[in-house]
Amino acid sequence: MQLTTTVPATIDLAIIGAGPHALTLTTHLLQKRQRIRGKFLVFDPSGRWMSQWEHQFKALEIPHLRSPAVHHPDPNPFALRKFAQSRPDELFAPYDLPGTQLFEDFCQDVIRVWQLYEQVIPLAVKSIEPLRDHLRLRFCLCLQDGQEVIARRVVLATSSAQIQIPDWVNQIQTVYPQDRLCHSQTIDLRKLQLMGKRVLIVGGGLTSGHLAVGAISRGAEVHLMIRRQLSEKLFDAEPGWLGPKYLKGFFAQSDWEQRVMMIQQARNGGSMTPA
């Protein structure tokens, strides 16, 4: 018998997604405004924080993060370094990149310290509709079990939930095994037997790099197909985007479409780390 999760009729803030960005937003809001506790909810079908993040990192066997130890969900930038004092071997050069297990354990500690275990509602949000009531804008969230919640504010923290499949995939008329042509988000390296197989990876980002390393270590012959020369960068974007150097201009831009363009230009396509 499946238990039904009853949610309040109205809340001040709804956060959709329970990954690292949602956790970061939550801790920073609570640090600045404690009274918001009890007035917001986080919606994620898994019912727990960091579920998708943990799965993807383990499925691709990613040993450590790309970002340095100061980038994490706690408002104190040095909290992870303090947490890792007894585990210095799990900070990797250069710039003390936290190991995957270290980061996962740290995030669970952040959730415990900030008392956030009960904040995640194990339901997906199916639709969001704007409502106007006496000039006040609200949003009606329709949940997967039919319940509705009225929220004053909504934050989408769902990452790139939509899988991008090239058009030519749908044009293939020959029947083929579905596990032979798939998207990176559906792959779990831990379950694959690839000895002697030939693998084509389309894309030149860091995910492609992890997949290539994982397939090669299992005895596969790997080919990478990318649209341009392989781009080698330590970080996803220039470090100036982590402070006022570039963010000042970004925050001054009020047009959301222009902001998206600025983000795309800053990332400039996928890249791999020197390692």
pLDDT in tens, 244-260: 899 999 999 999 999 99
Flag whether 5 is in a domain. no
Give the domain-ending residue among 156, 183, 211: 156
Whether residue 130 sits in one domain with residue 75 = yes
Among 156, 185, 201, the domain-final residue is 156
pLDDT at site 226: 93
- Whether the model clears a pTM of 0.85, i.e. scores above it, the answer is yes
Residues spanned by the domain of 174: 167-225
| Among candidate residues 105, 121, 156, the one where a domain is terminated | 156
In a domain, 60, yes or no: yes
Say yes or no: 126 and 180 in one domain: no
pLDDT in tens, 32-55: 999 999 999 999 999 999 999 999
Same domain, residue pair 191 and 147: no
% of the chain exceeding 70 in pLDDT: 98
The two three-digit tokens of residue 38, written as one number: 């009890």
SS3 of 165-216: CCHHHHCCCCCCCHHHCCCHHHCCHHHCCCCCCEEEEECCCHHHHHHHHHHH
Domain membership of residue 253 (yes or no) is no
pLDDT confidence tier of residue 159, bands split at 50, 70 and 90: confident
Number of domains in the chain: 2
Give 155's strand partners: 15
pLDDT confidence of 148, banded at 50, 70, 90? Answer: very high
